[in-house]
Amino acid sequence: MSVAVDVRLRLLARRVAASTFVRPVMGRMPRRGVRRLAPAPAHSGGDLDIDRTLDRSDGLRPSSIDQLVTRAWRAYRSRVVLLIDRSGSMRGGAVARAAVAAAAISLATRGRADCGVIAFSRDRIVLQPMSRNPDPFQLVDRILTLRGHGTTDLAGALEEAGRMVRTGSGTGDGIVVLLSDCIATEGSDPMRSLSGIAHLHVITPSDEPDSITVARSLTGPTGGKVRMATSVRDIAPAVFDILA
C-alpha cells in the first residue's frame, strides 16, 4: 500500500462501500433463524454425545461433568475473518480495495455470521474483533487510515486469523478471506498455518503468475476460491461470489 490514499480514492471507496448496501445478498450462507445440532457443554443440556465424550476423556470413563459433551440445537452462524495485507508490496489502491472489502463482508454476513478484521505486514493489527454486527462505515474509516509499509509475514497473519475465528460465538465454519498478493517475505511456511481455518479464500490484486500460484496452493486444501480484483469496483462482486 502507498503511504497515503489520495482524496479521490477515499471518496470512491466510500461511494462503492455505500453502494453495496443496496445489493441483494443471496447465497448459501445460513439465514437468520437457522438452527442445527452442535456440540455443547453438559451443563447446557441436550443429548449425550458418546463419541465426543470418549474423545475428550481419552476413551476412559468420564471422571467429571466437564468431560461430558452433549448435542443441542443452536443457532448456526459462520465465523468470517477478513485478513488485509498492508505490507509495502500492496501499493496504489490497496487501501481503498480493503475498505470496500470490509464493508462488503460486513453486509454479506450481517446477522448470519460473526465477523472480524485483521491488517498485517510484519505485525498484526486487529481492526475489528469478532462481532455479530460490526459497523461497516466505521470499518471503512479505520482502514482508510492505514499506512502500508514493511515486510509480509503471511504465516503469522494466517495463524492470527485462525485464532480469531475460534473466538467467534458462531457454531459454523471458520472462514478467512485474504486480501493479498500472497508473496511472503518473512516468516514460516504459510501452508503450515491453516489450523482452525475451514475455508480460506483469496482476493488478489495481482495477476502475476507467482501470486496466482501461491493463492491457489493456499486455498486448495480448504476448497477455497481465488478471485482477482484489480480495481475498487471489482471487490464487492468478488466478496459476494466467495461468500455465496
Domain extents for the chain? 7-30+76-243, 35-75
Query: Shortest CA distance to 124 belongs to which of 104, 88, 152?
Result: 152
pTM comes to: 0.74
- 84: phi then psi, degrees, rounded to nearest 5: -105, 120
Amino acid identity, residue 182?
Answer: C
- Highest mean pLDDT among 10-19, 108-117, 178-187 belongs to 178-187
Residue of higher predicted confidence among 175 and 49:
175
Q: What is the pLDDT of residues 199-234, one digit of tens each?
A: 999 999 888 899 999 999 999 998 999 999 988 888
Q: How far is CA 66 from CA 45, 62, 71, 76, 134, in A?
A: 13, 8, 14, 23, 33
Q: What is the pLDDT of residue 23?
A: 47
Name the CATH superfamily for 7-30+76-243: von Willebrand factor, type A domain (3.40.50.410)
Give the span between the Cα atoms of 229 and 149, in whole angstroms. 21
80, three cell numbers: 468470517
Which residue stretches of 114-203 are H helix?
136-143, 154-167
User: Mean of the per-residue pLDDT values for the chain?
Assistant: 79
Which tens digits make up the pLDDT trace of 41-89? 666 666 777 777 777 666 777 777 767 777 765 555 678 999 999 987 7
Q: Which amino acid is at 88?
A: G
pLDDT band at 27 (very low <50, low <70, confident <90, very high): very low
